[in-house]
């Protein structure tokens, strides 16, 4: 532990930027300049700590030691740059740089309102995310976790229309329920449990688990289990574990840079990161494994099994739901839900390999998913197209974007040489090493890879290999049983009942200009072009009802223009402000996949796992798992 | 320094004497009220700080016996670590609210007389060491409050005040009956002597009856469900400049007095042994938390909403007292003390903000707050911060209080109480988020045509004053009312008014870092009364 | 039980008065009568204090001013309740005055003293 101001500086640099951003609200260029400067400064500070941290140094800053103020009796407000913290902070701050540029292009491209609030909240979110990364104890992480919920709320409710407000309400309800109720309750219980043992109350993270907690858990196993599940539920809300996931899809009404960086990286990963802290540094794999849970009818299982089951269920179910979503961002959101559960599943399998895989999946998924979101946003800005069924042939309009999309999609599915492959490989290795019922989880992982392809391939296929005149009906699964009315612009029951998949209905009585192709198997020759763009709209009300399912109340309908997509070169397809970030992030995803050994994340992940088990990583993997957990110093 | 104990009678006597000045001087000079009040409260604040520093460095209570009569039948004033917190809160808020009333009114010399009397009564409640004297100060406070509430415009204020008067008097009388029973059983009125006499008293029945009456009396004074009915209408009908003061201080002082009686006079040990005492107090608190919030959520008037929020927040304090009794939990007591101070500060700031908005836009319902963030970004921001600290978002002060109370409940293994406390975050959020959403994410609604003469709507308004990018005209018809709002801003709002709301918001966050400090401050007190 | 009721008949009377007072507050529709009820309630408390100050003992004398300048072992009445009651009466008078002032204002505005009429009048406005 080396006392150092840098963890605090890394948190505060974007907090300072908030003030500057608000102060320069009259000068957009200066304002966005501060965003970029803050992003670079933040990344710089974090990178400056990286070499030392990889050599085993831990930088720490504590409110009590530096100012003498005690945050709560017996609890310090402390930040600590340890390998796990650096891991997350490095990722978030690196991606923020590119997201800043992208956000400028995106917000200006759409001429959005309240951009000052947007950029200020964005900077605040990054402060909170890095705070979560560097938090040294449960109370500090709780503080930043709540702040993160708070400052992302304006981003979700950004549009200020009723859809955004409802999404915002849902978002803040879910996240505060997770943070303010579950997480706080869990934290209080941990504090109480550790106060029962001789060494006194503590909440500070310790690699491999808190010793005091391990002692207390032997005396009060029931309460220790309750606290574990409370903490997992608290972080699980942000990690979108089912059944606490539904805020994520609704939060997609936010501008795309928000969906990209926050709802695919910073916010949701802070949930996954929190679960990592709980499993690795609060309870520790040993304690979780040794604190069995009596399940009537099944027998005793480790505490990790319920979590793993929830995660496995989530990743399968979310993938299936994703297939049914025609709105691209919503499909991506469900894909995020699924991918986050990979991380949780990997962590909860407890095997060193699985943990390495889970940790490495944090950046792997971040790069790939950010690429996908950037592509979705760029399509939206350029063509106002949000629905996959309208994207037929869009590959020639936006060649580079769609190529990057393909790379990201391959990463999601875990195809080599994209980063997703490496993490899934490690997780499978971990599941295999554990054996027994863990094969089930391995099966879920493999199944999900197939499902990933199933829901991403149609997008790629329709973009490149179909044309606006001739294409299949999309999406892959249409009219889900029970009728998912919300995905359809004109979702009255009568309408659905009427077409029922029958191609015989003419289009004459259709009042819906948005979704002509989707529910018609035949007659697609003129489907898209019947009401091209926003011309000749039969009924004004329908336009706004369509827009409520899109992202923005901008009165522009999507889909190709009347004469089809124009062919553009990769250079002119959109502004450089958006193209460059897309390209860089997509390349990053490939680099992580080709040379994981050279990118720092895998090294860091190995180091984290080594610290957790108290041995160098090579030795950790050489030992059988049972020896490993009993050998963990408790 | 031996004369420091003189500060105690001075803190009470000075405002009482100064209260006569506005009326007396008013015979010759107009508008003397404000300067007198400002001078007095500032002096009191300085005195409170001096006293606080002495108490905290000494680590023990400063006492003063009035007239040197022995405390058996004389009156003793005590400033210990618990009371000094309330004294600081009272003097700070009393000084701060004056910044608003200078321009915001109500004006008139008699108003400031009542203002100073109220301050004196509150300081008396905080400092007295005598249970009957406590009754007298409770009544001085109440009398001044009735007068202040009644000074609101319109006859509704008089009705609200009378309702308050009848319930408040009954409550104080209940307390007095309780005192009578306790006095009967022990023969003394001094708190410290009572504390010694009570455990060994012969007739425990008398004492139990006394406790019962005292609990009921304070349940009314602190506005606990279902005895809260006086409070929302009193808060709502009181003049805007008065509500911050009474909302922040009057119930807080009563809750303080209740806590004082519980831990100092009866003693935790005694109450723990007393059958049902803990259960009753816990139930009152928990039910109030839930009922107060539900009532707050369904209100349309912002002031009423905040008033019901007080019911639920004081429910937390009372529940914390219950935890103290049930589990001898020092932690819960720290939580109660912090929550008292924190809630007082937050509510003062919120009601000041509400007064400011009402003054500039005549906006009083939640719906009328739509779009406030655009027209008054600073005030809206301060209100948002205050609301969030009320919810318990760290590092606001609400979180600190809640943390200790929850920790106390968990340590005492009172799981239902702990559940209520954790859920209270969500419940508070339910009404706080409603206001936040209106202020920030709702464009102003279409004006009622009756109140929106067309010509006014055309004059541009103040759109784009705080946003660099042009305000796009949204679907929802909003521009019209925004213009009217700008136009209606007839009553000037001084920088001081805005500053005091911002100061309260900063204070609420700063106090959020004081959890450890306050716990340390209270430590000697707690070791004395609990162990 | 009955014996103790007889020996403590003042207490019984006090609580009857208390009951009467609170009943008036709750049941009477007239605001002035409500206030009188409050007064009655308070007066009962004063009597309660006074009666508890009485100590039945043989060699007792008035407090504060003892017989022959030598304090006796037992005094007839404790001085404290007297002081308390005196103070409480003052408080009570102040309250009554404020209450009556409020009632006058309500009467001037609404022209009624009855609670139910008042509610109707206010509802109409």
pLDDT, tens digit, 9 for 90 and up, residues B329-371: 888 899 999 999 999 999 999 999 988 888 888 778 888 888 7
Sign of the C-alpha dihedral computed for residues B336, B339, B341 and B343 taken in this order: negative
Q: For chains B and C, count residue pairs whose Cβ atoms are closer than 8 Å.
A: 78
Are B515 and A72 in contact, with CB atoms under 8 Å apart? yes
Are C76 and C54 in contact, with CB atoms under 8 Å apart? yes
CA dihedral C31, C36, C37, C38 (to 10 degrees): 100
The candidate with the shortest Cα–Cα distance to B92, out of B277, B344, B303, is B344
**Tokens describing residue B249:** 């201080």
Residue A222: how many CB atoms within 10 A of its CB?
9
What's the average model confidence in pLDDT over B408-426?
88
Chain A residues near residue B466 by CB distance under 8 angstroms: 25
* CA-angle at A142, arms to B311 and A424, nearest 5°: 140
User: Distance from B134 to chain A by nearest Cα, in Å?
Assistant: 32
pLDDT digit string (tens) for B385-413?
Answer: 999 999 888 888 888 888 899 999 988 88
Our measurement of the distance from residue A595's CA atom to the centroid of its chain's CA atoms, rounded to an integer in Å, reads 23
Query: Per-residue pLDDT for B487 more than 60?
Result: no
Residue A499 in 3-state DSSP? helix
Are A60 and A4 in contact, with CB atoms under 8 Å apart? yes
What is the phi/psi pair of residue C82, to 5°?
A: -60, -45
Query: Per-residue pLDDT for A418 more than 60?
Result: yes
Q: Which residues of B touch C (CB under 8 A)?
A: 73, 132, 135-136, 139, 142-143, 146-147, 150, 155-156, 158-159, 161-162, 165-166, 169-170, 173, 176-177, 180, 183-184, 187, 189
Residue B475 in 3-state DSSP? coil
Judge whether A461 is closer than 8 Å to chain B, CB to CB. no
Q: Classify residue A29 as exposed, middle or buried by CB count within 10 Å of its CB (0-12, 13-18, 19+).
A: exposed
Query: Per-residue pLDDT for C78 more than 50?
Result: yes
**Residue A240 to residue A252: CA distance in whole angstroms:** 13
**Residue A117 to residue A21: CA distance in whole angstroms:** 9
Sketch the domain layout of chain B as residue ranges: 326-445+493-530
Please answer yes or no on whether B388 and A150 come within 8 Å at the CB atom: yes
Neighbours of chain A (3+ CB pairs under 8 A): B
Residue A349 in 3-state DSSP? coil
Return the DSSP state at B21. Answer: H
Helix (H) or strand (E) segment spanning residue C60: strand C60-61
- Partnered with residue A72 across adjacent β-strands are A75
Chains C/A: 3 or more C-beta pairs closer than 8 A? no
**Tokens describing residue A597:** 């050994």
Sketch the domain layout of chain A as residue ranges: 302-489+511-528+557-589
Query: Per-residue pLDDT for B467 more than 90?
Result: no
User: Distance from A166 to chain B by nearest Cα, in Å?
Assistant: 10
Judge whether A567 is closer than 8 Å to chain B, CB to CB. no
Please answer yes or no on whether A143 and B395 come within 8 Å at the CB atom: yes
Strands A299-301 and B62-65: unpaired
Measuring CA to CA, how many Å separate A400 from each of A385, A570, A581, A583?
17, 5, 12, 8
Residue in C41, C98, C115, C120 to test binding to B, most B beta-carbons within 10 Å = C98
**Tokens describing residue B128:** 């007295």
Mean pLDDT of chain A: 77
Neighbours of chain B (3+ CB pairs under 8 A): A, C
Q: Give residues with Cβ within 8 angstroms of B449, minimum separation 6.
A: none
User: Distance from C73 to chain B by nearest Cα, in Å?
Assistant: 16
Please answer yes or no on whether A184 and B472 come within 8 Å at the CB atom: no
Helix (H) or strand (E) segment spanning residue B78: strand B76-79
B494-513 burial, b at 16+ Cβ within 10 Å, e below that, comes to eebbbebbbbbbebbbebbb
- Residue owning tokens 């697609």: A524
User: Distance from C105 to chain B by nearest Cα, in Å?
Assistant: 7
pLDDT of residue A426: 85
Residue of A nearest to B378 (CA): A22
pLDDT digit string (tens) for B153-178?
Answer: 778 888 889 889 999 999 999 999 99
Q: Classify residue C73 as exposed, middle or buried by CB count within 10 Å of its CB (0-12, 13-18, 19+).
A: exposed
pLDDT of residue B64: 84
Please answer yes or no on whether C95 and B158 come within 8 Å at the CB atom: no
Judge whether A176 is closer than 8 Å to chain B, CB to CB. yes
pLDDT of residue C1: 59
Please answer yes or no on whether B441 and A168 come within 8 Å at the CB atom: yes
Are B142 and C91 in contact, with CB atoms under 8 Å apart? no
Q: Could you please report the per-residue DSSP string of A416-466?
A: TTSHHHHHHHHHHHHHHHH-TTHHHHHHHHHHHHHHHHHHHHHHHHHHHH-
Q: How many CA atoms lie within 13 A of B237 on its CB side?
A: 24
pLDDT of residue A521: 42
Q: For chains A and B, count residue pairs whose Cβ atoms are closer than 8 Å.
A: 131
Judge whether A108 is closer than 8 Å to chain B, CB to CB. no
What is the phi/psi pair of residue A171, to 5°?
A: -60, -50
pLDDT of residue A552: 40
What is the phi/psi pair of residue B65, to 5°?
A: -100, 125
User: Distance from A150 to chain B by nearest Cα, in Å?
Assistant: 8
First and final CA of chain B: distance in angstroms? 30
What's the average model confidence in pLDDT over B243-249?
89
C22, C88, C94 ranked by CB distance to B143: nearest: C94
Query: Per-residue pLDDT for A56 more than 50?
Result: yes
What is the phi/psi pair of residue A302, to 5°?
A: -70, 160
**Residue B246 to residue A340: CA distance in whole angstroms:** 50
pLDDT digit string (tens) for A486-537?
Answer: 444 444 444 444 444 444 444 444 444 444 444 444 444 443 344 444 433 3
**Residue A159 to residue A251: CA distance in whole angstroms:** 11
- Partnered with residue A80 across adjacent β-strands are A60
The candidate with the shortest Cα–Cα distance to B122, out of B107, B136, B105, B110, is B136
SS3 content of chain A, % helix, strand, coil (to 5): 65, 5, 30
Task: Give the pLDDT band of residue C6 (cuts 50, 70, 90).
Answer: low
Query: Per-residue pLDDT for A116 more than 70?
Result: yes
Task: Give the pLDDT band of residue A633 (cuts 50, 70, 90).
Answer: very low
Neighbours of chain C (3+ CB pairs under 8 A): B
* CA-angle at A184, arms to A178 and A185, nearest 5°: 100
Q: Give residues with Cβ within 8 angstroms of B312, minimum separation 6.
A: B288, B289, B290, B291, B292, B293, B296, B424, B427, B428
Chain A residues near residue B519 by CB distance under 8 angstroms: 70, 72-73
SS3 content of chain C, % helix, strand, coil (to 5): 75, 5, 20
Residue A575: how many CB atoms within 10 A of its CB?
18
Residue A31: how many CB atoms within 10 A of its CB?
22
pLDDT over 70 for what percent of chain B? 91
Residue in A72, A79, A244, A541 to test binding to B, most B beta-carbons within 10 Å = A72
- Partnered with residue A299 across adjacent β-strands are A295
A 408-437 near B (Cβ less than 8 A): none
Task: Give the pLDDT band of residue B253 (cuts 50, 70, 90).
Answer: very high
| CATH number of the domain residue C31 falls in | 1.10.287.3510
Q: Model-level pTM?
A: 0.83
User: Distance from B188 to chain C by nearest Cα, in Å?
Assistant: 9
**Tokens describing residue B240:** 């805007």
Please answer yes or no on whether B411 and A63 come within 8 Å at the CB atom: no
Residue of C nearest to B148 (CA): C98
The candidate with the shortest Cα–Cα distance to A599, out of A207, A94, A42, is A94
Mean pLDDT of chain C: 79
Residue B48 in 3-state DSSP? helix
Are B435 and B302 in contact, with CB atoms under 8 Å apart? yes
Q: Could you please report the per-residue DSSP string of A614-627?
A: TS-HHHHHHS-HHH
**Residue A117 to residue A303: CA distance in whole angstroms:** 43
- Quote the domain boundaries for residue C50: 2-124
pLDDT digit string (tens) for B106-133?
Answer: 777 788 888 899 999 999 999 998 888 8
pLDDT of residue A530: 41
pLDDT digit string (tens) for A162-218?
Answer: 888 888 888 888 888 888 789 999 999 888 888 888 777 788 888 777 888 888 888
Are B149 and B160 in contact, with CB atoms under 8 Å apart? yes
- Residue owning tokens 């006014």: B456
Q: What length is written for chain C?
A: 125
pLDDT digit string (tens) for B13-35?
Answer: 899 998 888 888 878 877 788 88
Q: What is the CA radius of gyration of chain B?
A: 23
A25, A177, A188 ranked by CB distance to B410: nearest: A188
Q: Give residues with Cβ within 8 angstroms of A164, minimum separation 6.
A: A156, A157, A158, A253, A254, B441
Indicate the number of domains in chain C: 1
Our measurement of the distance from residue A210's CA atom to the centroid of its chain's CA atoms, rounded to an integer in Å, reads 28
Chain B residues near residue A137 by CB distance under 8 angstroms: none
**Tokens describing residue A147:** 């702040």
Query: Per-residue pLDDT for C65 more than 70?
Result: no
């Amino acid at each position: 532990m080396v006392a150092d101001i840098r963890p605090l500086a890394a948190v505060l640099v974007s907090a300072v930027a908030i003030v500057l951003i608000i102060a320069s609200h009259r000068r957009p260029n200066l304002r966005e300049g501060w965003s970029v400067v803050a992003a670079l400064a933040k990344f710089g500070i974090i990178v400056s700590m990286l070499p030392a941290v990889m050599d085993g140094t831990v930088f720490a800053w504590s409110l009590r030691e530096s100012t003498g103020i005690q945050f709560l009796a017996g609890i310090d407000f402390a930040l600590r740059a340890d390998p796990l913290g650096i891991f997350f902070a490095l990722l978030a701050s690196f991606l923020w740089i590119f997201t800043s540029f992208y956000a400028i292009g995106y917000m200006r491209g759409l001429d959005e309102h309240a951009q000052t609030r947007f950029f200020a909240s964005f900077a605040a979110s990054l402060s909170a995310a890095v705070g979560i990364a560097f938090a040294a104890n449960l109370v500090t992480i709780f503080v930043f976790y709540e702040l993160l919920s708070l400052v992302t709320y304006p981003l979700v409710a950004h549009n200020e229309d009723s859809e955004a407000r409802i999404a915002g309400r849902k978002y803040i309800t879910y996240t505060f329920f997770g943070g303010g109720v579950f997480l706080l309750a869990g934290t209080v219980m941990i504090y109480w449990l550790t106060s029962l043992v001789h060494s006194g109350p503590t909440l500070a993270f310790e690699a491999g688990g808190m010793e005091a907690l391990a002692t207390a858990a032997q005396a009060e196993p029931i309460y220790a289990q309750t606290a574990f599940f409370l903490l997992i539920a608290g972080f699980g809300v942000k990690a979108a574990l089912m059944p606490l996931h539904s805020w994520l899809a609704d939060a997609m009404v936010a501008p795309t840079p928000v969906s990209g960086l926050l709802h695919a990286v910073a916010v949701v990963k802070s949930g996954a990161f929190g679960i990592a802290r709980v499993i690795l540094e609060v309870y520790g794999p040993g304690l979780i494994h040794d604190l069995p849970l009596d399940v009537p009818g099944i027998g005793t299982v480790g505490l990790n099994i319920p979590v793993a089951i929830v995660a496995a269920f989530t990743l399968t179910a979310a993938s299936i739901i994703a297939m049914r979503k025609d709105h691209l961002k919503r499909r991506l959101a469900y894909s995020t839900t699924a991918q986050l559960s990979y991380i949780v599943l990997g962590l909860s399998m407890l095997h060193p390999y699985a943990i390495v895989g889970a940790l490495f999946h944090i950046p792997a998924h971040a790069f790939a998913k950010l690429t996908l979101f950037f592509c979705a946003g760029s399509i939206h800005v350029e063509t106002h197209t949000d629905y996959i069924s309208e994207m037929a042939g869009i590959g020639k309009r936006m060649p580079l974007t769609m190529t990057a999309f393909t790379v990201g999609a391959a990463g999601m599915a875990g195809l080599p040489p994209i980063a997703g492959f490496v993490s899934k490989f490690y997780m499978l290795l971990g599941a295999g090493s554990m054996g027994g019922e863990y094969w089930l989880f391995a099966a879920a992982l493999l199944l999900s890879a197939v499902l990933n392809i199933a829901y991403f391939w149609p997008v790629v296929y329709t973009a490149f290999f179909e044309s606006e005149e001739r294409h299949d009906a999309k999406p892959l699964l249409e009219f889900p049983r029970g009728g998912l009315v919300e995905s359809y612009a004109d979702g009255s029951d009568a309408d659905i009942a009427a077409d029922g998949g029958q191609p015989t209905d003419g289009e004459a009585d259709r009042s819906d200009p948005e979704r002509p192709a989707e529910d018609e198997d035949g007659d697609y020759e003129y489907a898209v072009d019947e009401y091209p763009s926003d011309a000749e709209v039969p009924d004004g009300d329908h336009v706004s009802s369509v827009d409520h399912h899109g992202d923005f109340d901008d009165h522009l309908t999507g889909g190709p223009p009347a004469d089809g997509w124009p062919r553009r070169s990769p250079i002119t397809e959109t502004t450089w402000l958006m193209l460059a970030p897309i390209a860089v992030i997509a390349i990053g995803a490939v680099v992580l996949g080709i040379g994981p050994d050279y990118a720092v994340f895998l090294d860091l992940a190995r180091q984290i796992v080594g610290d957790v088990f108290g041995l160098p990583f090579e030795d950790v993997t050489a030992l059988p798992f049972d020896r490993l957990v009993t050998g963990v110093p408790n | 320094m031996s004369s420091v104990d003189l500060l105690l009678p001075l803190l009470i006597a000075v405002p009482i004497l100064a209260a006569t000045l506005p009326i007396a001087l008013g015979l010759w000079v107009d508008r003397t009220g404000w300067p007198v009040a400002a001078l007095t409260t500032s002096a009191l604040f300085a005195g409170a700080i001096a006293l606080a520093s002495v108490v905290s460095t000494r680590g023990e209570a400063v006492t003063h016996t009035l007239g040197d009569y022995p405390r058996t039948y004389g009156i003793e004033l005590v400033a210990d670590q618990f009371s000094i917190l309330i004294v600081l809160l009272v003097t700070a808020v009393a000084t701060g609210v004056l910044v608003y009333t200078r321009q915001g009114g109500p004006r008139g010399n008699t108003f400031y007389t009542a203002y100073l009397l109220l301050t004196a009564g509150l300081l008396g409640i905080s400092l007295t060491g005598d249970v009957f004297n406590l009754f007298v100060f409770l009544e001085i406070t109440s009398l001044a409050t009735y007068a202040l509430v009644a000074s609101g415009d319109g006859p509704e204020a008089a009705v609200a005040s009378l309702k308050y008067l009848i319930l408040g008097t009954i409550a104080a009388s209940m307390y007095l009956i309780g005192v009578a029973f306790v006095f009967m059983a022990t023969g003394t009125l001094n708190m410290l002597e009572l504390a010694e006499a009570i455990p060994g008293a012969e007739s425990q029945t008398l004492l139990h009856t006394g406790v019962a009456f005292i609990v009921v009396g304070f349940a009314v004074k602190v506005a606990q469900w279902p005895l809260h009915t006086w409070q929302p209408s009193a808060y709502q009908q009181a003049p805007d400049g008065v509500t911050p003061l009474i909302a922040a201080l009057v119930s807080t002082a009563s809750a303080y007095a209740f806590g004082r009686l519980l831990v100092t006079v009866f003693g935790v040990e005694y109450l723990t042994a007393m059958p049902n005492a803990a259960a009753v107090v816990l139930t009152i608190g928990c039910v109030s938390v839930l009922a107060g919030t539900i009532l707050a959520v369904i209100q349309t008037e912002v002031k009423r909403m905040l008033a019901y929020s007080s019911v639920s927040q004081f429910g937390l304090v009372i529940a914390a007292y219950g935890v103290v009794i049930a589990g001898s939990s020092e932690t819960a007591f720290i939580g109660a003390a912090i929550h008292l101070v924190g809630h007082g500060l937050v509510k003062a700031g919120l009601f000041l903000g509400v007064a400011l908005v009402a003054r500039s836009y005549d906006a009083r319902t939640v719906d009328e707050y739509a779009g406030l963030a655009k027209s008054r970004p600073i005030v809206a921001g301060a209100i948002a911060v205050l609301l969030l600290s009320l919810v318990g978002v760290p590092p606001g002060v609400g979180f600190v209080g809640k943390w200790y109370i929850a920790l106390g409940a968990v340590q005492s293994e009172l799981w239902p109480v702990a559940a209520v406390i954790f859920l209270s975050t969500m419940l508070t959020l339910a009404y706080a988020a409603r206001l936040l959403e209106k202020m920030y994410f709702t464009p102003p609604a279409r004006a009622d045509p009756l109140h929106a003469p067309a010509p006014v709507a055309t004059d541009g308004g103040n759109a784009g004053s705080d946003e660099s990018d042009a305000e796009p005209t949204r679907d929802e018809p909003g521009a019209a009312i925004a213009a009217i709002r700008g136009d209606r801003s007839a009553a000037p709002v001084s920088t001081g008014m805005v500053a005091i709301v911002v100061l309260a918001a900063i204070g609420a966050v700063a106090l959020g870092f004081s959890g450890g400090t306050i716990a340390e401050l209270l430590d000697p007190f707690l070791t004395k009364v609990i162990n | 039980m009955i014996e103790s009721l007889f020996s403590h008949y003042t207490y019984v009377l006090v609580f009857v008065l208390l009951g009467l007072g609170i009943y008036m507050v709750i049941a009477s529709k007239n605001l002035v009568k409500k206030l009188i009820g409050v007064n009655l309630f308070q007066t009962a408390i004063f009597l309660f204090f006074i009666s508890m100050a009485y100590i039945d003992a043989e060699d007792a004398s008035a407090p504060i001013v003892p017989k022959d300048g030598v304090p006796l072992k037992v005094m007839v009445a404790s001085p404290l309740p007297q002081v308390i009651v005196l103070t409480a009466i003052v408080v009570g008078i102040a309250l009554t005055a404020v209450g009556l002032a409020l009632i006058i204002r309500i009467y001037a505005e609404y022209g009624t003293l009855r609670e139910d009429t008042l509610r109707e009048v206010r509802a109409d406005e």
